[in-house]
Structure 1
Amino acid sequence: MATKKNRGLGTGLDAFFSNDPLQDLNQSSEGIKEIELKEIRPNPYQPRQIFDQDKLKELADSIAQSGVFQPVIVKKGVNGYELIAGERRFRASKLAGKTLIPAIVRDYTDEQVLEITVLENLQREDLSPIEEGQAFVTLIKKLNLTQDEVAKKVGKSRPYITNYIRLLQLPDSVKGLVETRKLSNAQARALLKLQDPEAIERLAKKVVNEGLTVRQIEKYIDENQGVNKAAKKTAVEPTPFVRSTRSSLEDLLDTKVKIQQSMRGKGKIEIDFASEDDLARIIGLLNVEAD
């Protein structure tokens, strides 16, 4: 698959490859050797969990007939080798009944392997939204990065990173619908307005069965699931000052803010956050010290 240049990921990969084998393997003969497939362990940091079996079979048929044109990338381990890049070629070669595969052996640290693997997969654009969100979380946890740092590394905005990470809050059954493309990224995010996992699952089934749009999902939640009747009776239209304050807070905190005000003047502020890391970022912006 051709790599699209506008993803902004080339810089992250170039930091590790002097002559990037992921971009130009056909023109490189650097250290290519035949390695037994049984000596190669799958990459533990592989973010892609779902592989199109039909496409994998097509690749296996091609390999069975013509061999592997592009070597995989591996690192030497204590016992055998660890796969860094080329998961589909590795799997298809096994499916084709091959015992050997051409490989380039590189010496990388575990941290470098992690980053290269995640960036290489993000660059190929065929991860599901759930896999992409998990890839961002892996970078955050394993490399101790903030969401802002991940955003810069992959060439995306911080809200983009946050939105994908938020999808991981969905119940497993709904994540499955996103992974199989039965629910779009936008539809799944709209479901997160509900707090109850069972309610999310019920509405997700309705969305799939009836083909509800994002706007229809939001309207349904407002009318049937997300409205507190008592609050509705006492709520008032936000004043210009409240609207302006909410907008300023959203700009400052880079997240959704809700301000509710009752007829008696009292109210509350709700601030969305996607993870503990995101909460820590917000606390820092508010200049609050957390224990």
Structure 2
Amino acid sequence: MSNKNERKRGLGRGLSALMADVNETETVAAKGPAAADQFVPIERISPNPDQPRKQFVQSDLDDLTASIKEKGVLQPLIVRARENGEYEIVAGERRWRAAQAAKLHELPVIVRDFTDIEVLEVAIIENIQRADLNAAEEAAGYRQLMDRFGHTQEKMAEALGKSRSHIANLLRLLNLPAPVQELLRDGQLSAGHARALVPAQDPLKLAQQVIKGGLSVRATEALVKRQLSGDAAPKAKRDTGSEEKDADTIALEGDLSANLGMRVQLSHKPGQETGQMSIKYTSLDQLDELCRLLSNI
């Protein structure tokens, strides 16, 4: 169990340093086998029980197994030493699973002295770096790094080689209802479609229309705009005289919502510099977190 200082340590030994360990094994496939610290009997290696990725696509494992049978394991696993000569996987569980299916007796490993916190960080980073990770899973990985370890969007973008806007756009997807996120995970919606649905008042209803009609991202954006202007704008004009929110305001709401993990809405009159910002919390824990953040400003 980590203490509060560990969880809020900022970047600890450095997110970039942890990234270097992951990239050390991820960039060698095209260059041939990478240097391993040693070879370890496969029965002495066990998976990380806190691995954030719980599902492994069987077809992908079958392809990897076939590749390992032909070429061997080109990318060493990152492990840490446990008691009695045992090793725990930090990164590379897919290779371990495929190697078992290929009936290998030993595996190349790189041994690192990681803390429990760093093991989880590296596991999340490895999942984020995988090309086949869907947008919802990638967004969840970023959210874990922010919530559990205090990493900022800027630091993650720098260390992971991503743009801040890429990370911010993905984090917005976590504001969508769970059923819509599931459609994204299943591949029925693209990340572009999902981003367009974030500001909608009824994202699930529109998502079903998008799927049924095979709409493009641009058509989805137009559908959301029509819903907002038809359902929300008339009331806003009668009450406040305000106009429909522009794209920049909607994007800013999405950024703030993603950063706070709470629904943020902005309201201001066109041409003026004053307005209101409302933050919706759904639990007392969220209220406590909001008070903590405001107290630290």
C-alpha spacing 1:109/1:237, structure 2 compared with 1 (3 Å): closer
Q: Distance in 2 between matches of 1:114 and 1:75?
A: 12
8 Å contact kept, 2:22–2:91: no
Q: Percent identity?
A: 30
Q: Distance in 2 between matches of 1:21 and 1:224?
A: 48
1:129 Cα deviation from its structure 2 partner: 0.9
C-alpha spacing 1:27/1:92, structure 2 compared with 1 (3 Å): closer
Equivalent residue in structure 2 for 1:90, among 81, 96, 101: 96
Structure 2: runs of 5+ lacking an equivalent: 1-14, 258-263, 281-285
1:51 Cα deviation from its structure 2 partner: 3.7
Q: Distance in 2 between matches of 1:45 and 1:115?
A: 10
TM-score by length of 1: 0.69
Q: Distance in 2 between matches of 1:55 and 1:182?
A: 20
Secondary structure of 1:212's aligned partner: coil
Equivalent residue in structure 2 for 1:185, among 191, 199, 213: 191
Alignment partner of 1:209 is 2:212 = yes
C-alpha spacing 1:22/1:160, structure 2 compared with 1 (3 Å): closer
The 5 Å alignment of 1:64-213 reads: 64=69, 67-78=72-83, 80-98=86-104, 100-195=106-201, 199-213=202-216
Spell out, residue by residue over 1:173-205, the C-alpha distance to the aligned partner (whole angstroms, 9 max, x if none).
22122123221112112211134xxx3222212
8 Å contact kept, 1:122–1:132: yes
One-letter code aligned to 1:57 = D
Spell out, residue by residue over 1:41-73, the C-alpha distance to the aligned partner (whole angstroms, 9 max, x if none).
236244x55544223212223334554343322
Structure 1: runs of 5+ lacking an equivalent: 1-10
Match of residue 23 from structure 1: 27
TM-score by length of 2: 0.68
One-letter code aligned to 2:93 = E
C-alpha spacing 1:160/1:95, structure 2 compared with 1 (3 Å): same
1:20 Cα deviation from its structure 2 partner: 3.0
8 Å contact kept, 1:72–1:85: yes
Q: Distance in 2 between matches of 1:160 and 1:55?
A: 26
8 Å contact kept, 2:121–2:145: yes
Q: Distance in 2 between matches of 1:64 and 1:35?
A: 17
The 5 Å alignment of 1:263-274 reads: 268-270=275-277
Aligned length: 262
8 Å contact kept, 1:40–1:82: yes
Match of residue 50 from structure 2: 44
Spell out, residue by residue over 1:218-263, the C-alpha distance to the aligned partner (whole angstroms, 9 max, x if none).
332333466234334566576xxx99xx88x96xx9899854449x
C-alpha spacing 1:37/1:130, structure 2 compared with 1 (3 Å): farther
Q: Distance in 2 between matches of 1:189 and 1:18?
A: 29
Match of residue 59 from structure 1: 64
